[in-house]
Amino acid sequence: MKKVSFTNPVCRGADPWMFLCGEYFYLCCTAGRSLWLYRSKDPSKITAEGECEKILAFQPREGEMWSKDLWSPEIHHFSEEEFPGHGGWYLFIACDDGKNVNHRMYVLKCEDRETPFAPYGEPLTGERYVPKKIESETDGTFNTGWCCGQTILRHRGKVYCMWVDEVGRQTMDFHQRDRIALLKNPWTAGDAGVIIKPTEEWEMHGFGMGADGIIRPRVVEGGTAVYGDAGELYVVYSGSGYWTKYYALGQITLEGDPLVYEDWKKEKEPLFSMSDTVFGCGHASFFTDAEGKRFIAYHAYLSPDRAGGRYVFIEPYRIENGRIVIGDGSGKPAPLDTVQTVTVY
């Protein structure tokens, strides 16, 4: 193992999903029509020409309900013990046909059981680049409603799916919710509970009628599970509109049943928000380096007006007194000239 140093941001990208498998760090991000999976032994060079490998993980064909707007991809591994007969690597993603109202969640299975670095396809038939829609056997509104931001949460030997849905589209009650359900298999969910609603002032930026006559929602989205060393379970999520500089990270902590709203304790203030030079910090993933040190990958803008698009940042984090502490603990991104260090193979 060796240590490498870098400064942020590390690359362009939105909704970064970064993880370590073997000696490689992997990254996938939101895309329009083609989803690429990158890998490198140095996460700071994850998309650098000559420093990484990439593979076309998902190339949907034209004319389908899942052909466009490939949002918030995540890759997870399930064991045979968790889902007998369905172990392997899975790609979770939300897509539509170019119309946002048709956004739904899908899952694909990797063609290679041993590595995530291969094309993905239909979990049962194996047809390449064809996803399977995630559905519920008991909740019809889940099967027909808008949703995105799917992720996996594990607790006490059970596997849950979390995602974002919406209420009151194009009304003044328009808002998102983070929901959770027990998974029967990678594409079948049970009864769903709500675990996050927009309730705090910091979550409200971007809500309301725009100059174009379209109402934007109150946003809570992008929840990701974070696990403590003694079995503690946290979810870090994003609040406020991603199209604003106020997009920020919040935290809830489990104190009982994952399916029960009241059993999640919500922090009143944001966990991590904009600085004077980095804006709209949100949609994080969490991983460890080669020696087990904890890191967060999040996206942000380099200007308050969002010029230049979103970039991927990597900083260390720790868990301290029941709270996720990112970087130096200021609750703000580190200055751009801060040298970060990560251990690689």
**Residue 116: its pLDDT value, please?**
98
**Residue 141: its pLDDT value, please?**
81
Residues 6+ apart with CB under 8 A from 264: 195, 196, 235, 252, 253, 254, 255
Q: Which amino acid is at 282?
A: G
Sites in the chain below the pLDDT cut of 70: none
For residue range 50-109, what is the model confidence (pLDDT) as tens digits? 999 999 999 999 999 999 999 999 999 999 999 999 999 999 999 999 999 999 999 999
**Residue 142: its pLDDT value, please?**
84
**Residue 63: its pLDDT value, please?**
97
296 within 8 A of 284, measured Cβ to Cβ: yes
Question: What dotted CATH number matches 2-344?
Answer: 2.115.10.20
0.85 surpassed by pTM: yes
Q: What are the residue ranges spanned by the domains of the chain?
A: 2-344
Residues 6+ apart with CB under 8 A from 305: 245
For residue range 261-286, what is the model confidence (pLDDT) as tens digits? 999 999 999 999 999 999 999 999 99
**Residue 22: its pLDDT value, please?**
96
β-pairing, 147-155 vs 208-209, is unpaired
**Residue 270: its pLDDT value, please?**
97
